[in-house]
A = this chain, B = another copy of it.
Amino acid sequence: MTLPLGFRYASIYARIRKVKKDDLALIVSDTTAHAAATFTTNLVQAAPVRLARKHLRTSRGTLRAILVNAGNANCATRTGDAVALETCQALAAHLGVPLDQILPASTGVIGVEMDARKIVRALPGLVRRLSEDRFQDVAEAILTTDLVPKTSFAEISVHGGSVRIAGMTKGSGMIHPRMATTLGFLMTDAAIAPSFLKPMLAAVTELSYNRLTVDGDTSTNDMLLLAANGASGLTLDPESREGFQQALTHVAQDLASQIAKDGEGARKRITIQVSGARTDQDAAQIARAIANSPLVKTAIAGSDANWGRILSAAGYSGATFNPSRVDIALQGMLVCHEGLAAAFSEATLKKQLDAPECFIQFRISGKGTGSARFWSCDLTEGYIRINASYRT
């Protein structure tokens, strides 16, 4: 798979995190890219989120570089705004690009002052390393409690040739599906008019990052970014747009579901498919409640076919449906038929639920056509261990 043309990547260890592992990363577009982003809806927003939002506004949705650090969220700190600004200014000088074409992003602990000098000092080395083939290095440098890097790629035929999408993301805890969750960067070498970028990203986010939960906690630093630099020389015409958006949705869903798989302490990814609801909205609401229920998540951890908890979670989701029209299947095996226990082999199903992938189907029979897919993970002792001593 070829990466999108015209992007370069670099990472370096800037001593922001305690363990020696690259913690500062850079993505550069060789030419000005059109960009759109969705940000956390948390009222408490990290300094880099505020600055990135401002830069996107003043640059009218264009960018040249993304500067990311892991290990410190630069949130709820005295010097946060100054640190974000100063590091972007230093990078702008190094690259010779306008300040507002640089987007900062941070992830890590909240409430600890970040030392701008660590980043400024590391910038020359970081810029020197820029290379078209260090995509994977960046995908690793932006991780925090994640166990594995998360990337996804696509190549799409459009009028006149083909364009490419590459996406990377991080996230494992503080994951809740009401906005772009955690950090995600989507690059493409297609040229896309700014007026299409925003609605396209919104539609893609709704079907991917907004359909994901690990623990129901919404971060202060979330950002999902889409950058289109046109380096392919090809512009998305109206006919190509739908195919491109489908491929982009697929990449974003792939990334979101990788976050679920790598959820803090998770041993199993849970995919929830709701169908037959009144509307897609209703289906998503039901799926979200099931995905967030700690009782469902612990039952799956124990390979326990406790469908009553799934039905109960749907019941308090706020969506309206008739419980006596509900079928629930686990790993394809019917466990609840028309709201009542179905006959199934506990022993067989228990073995199937030991698999690393768990599939919950929640079907409402009748005329409804609303459906939604959601990603979550099981809740294990590992989540507790990781989060009981994150700061110390």
A390 & B299 in contact (Cβ 8 Å cutoff): yes
Residues of B within 8 A of A279 (CB): none
Contact of A111 among B317, B340, B391 (CB under 8 A): B340
Q: How many Å lie between the Cα of A228 and that of B39 in the bound state?
A: 53
Identify which of A111, A215, A323 gathers the most chain B CB atoms within 10 Å of its CB.
Answer: A111
Interface segment, A12-20, A73-81, A90-98, A117-125? A73-81
Question: Please, which residue of chain B has its CB at the minimum distance from the CB of A306?
Answer: B391
A154 at the interface (CB under 8 A from B): no
Q: Mark A354-382, 1 if CB is under 8 A from B, else 0.
A: 00000000000000000000000001110
Interface segment, A62-70, A159-167, A229-237, A307-315? A307-315
Q: A309-B110, A316-B176 are in contact. Are A391 and B218 (CB under 8 A)?
A: no
A109 at the interface (CB under 8 A from B): yes
Q: How many Å lie between the Cα of A388 and that of B303 in the bound state?
A: 7
Q: How many protomers of this protein does the assembly include?
A: 2
Interface segment, A128-136, A254-262, A288-296? A288-296
Which chain A residues numbered 303 to 362 have a C-beta less than 8 Å away from chain B? 304-309, 311-317, 319-321, 323, 336, 339-341, 346, 350
Count residues of chain A with CB under 8 A from any CB of chain B.
68
A312 & B174 in contact (Cβ 8 Å cutoff): yes
B388 & A43 in contact (Cβ 8 Å cutoff): no
A232 to chain B, nearest CB (A): 38
Q: 29 pairs across A/B with beta carbons < 8 Å?
A: A42-B315, A43-B319, A43-B320, A44-B312, A45-B315, A76-B323, A76-B336, A76-B339, A77-B341, A78-B340, A110-B309, A111-B307, A174-B312, A178-B316, A215-B295, A216-B216, A216-B293, A217-B294, A220-B308, A294-B294, A294-B383, A298-B387, A299-B388, A299-B391, A302-B388, A304-B389, A304-B390, A305-B391, A381-B381
Which 10 A-B pairs rank lowest in CB-CB distance, beginning with the nearest? A110-B308, A302-B388, A44-B315, A298-B387, A111-B308, A43-B315, A218-B316, A381-B381, A42-B315, A302-B389
Q: How many Å lie between the Cα of A195 and that of B165 in the bound state?
A: 66
Contact of A299 among B220, B305, B307, B387 (CB under 8 A): B387
Question: Please, which residue of chain B has its CB at the minimum distance from the CB of A220?
Answer: B312
Identify which of A78, A220, A380 gathers the most chain B CB atoms within 10 Å of its CB.
Answer: A220
A245 at the interface (CB under 8 A from B): no
